[in-house]
Amino acid sequence: MSDFDSDHDIYPMPLFPQLTVSNVEESTAWYEALGFDVIYSMPVMAHVRYRKYADVMLVADRSEGDADAETTRGNGVAIYLTVEDEAIDDVAERAEETGADVVAPPHETGWNTRETTVRDPDGYELVFSERTETDRSFEDVMGSSDA
């Protein structure tokens, strides 16, 4: 057993998105207010974690002043996070309390989830999702396909 706090262990991650942000400190504070833990932080980057295997790297935009290199942040990017230890309504309420841009309030989907979508200060969308009926099979939820 590790001597590390399991919420702050470093482990191989199957997916680790890196988001270019306009201000690492402000973005880190925003993600913390939404319920993420800060694993590591320095002026040019921060590693934040919603839960195990739900990590995001926030990296400073180093293209300032270089029109050819400037990146469009948030355009078309959405990160899905599965909620396990709290309810979607709690996530949405916390987001509203912190003044976050709630793009889609909690709602049921056609694929057996309840979701809410929040936009971060750089335009990235975070979709928090929880299963609604855990006893339904994939075929029951999505229907059979003859494709």
pLDDT tens digits for 52-78? 899 999 999 877 655 555 567 787 789
Cα–Cα distance measured from residue 31 to residue 33, given in angstroms and rounded to the nearest whole number: 5
Beta bridge partners of 22: none
What is the overall mean pLDDT for the chain?
Answer: 85
Query: From its phi and psi, is residue 61 left (phi > 0), alpha (psi between -120 and 50) or beta?
Result: beta
Going from the N-terminus, what domains does the chain have, and what CATH number goes with each?
Answer: 18-63+74-142 (3.10.180.10)
Cα–Cα distance measured from residue 88 to residue 94, given in angstroms and rounded to the nearest whole number: 10
Q: pLDDT value at position 7?
A: 61
Q: pLDDT value at position 5?
A: 52
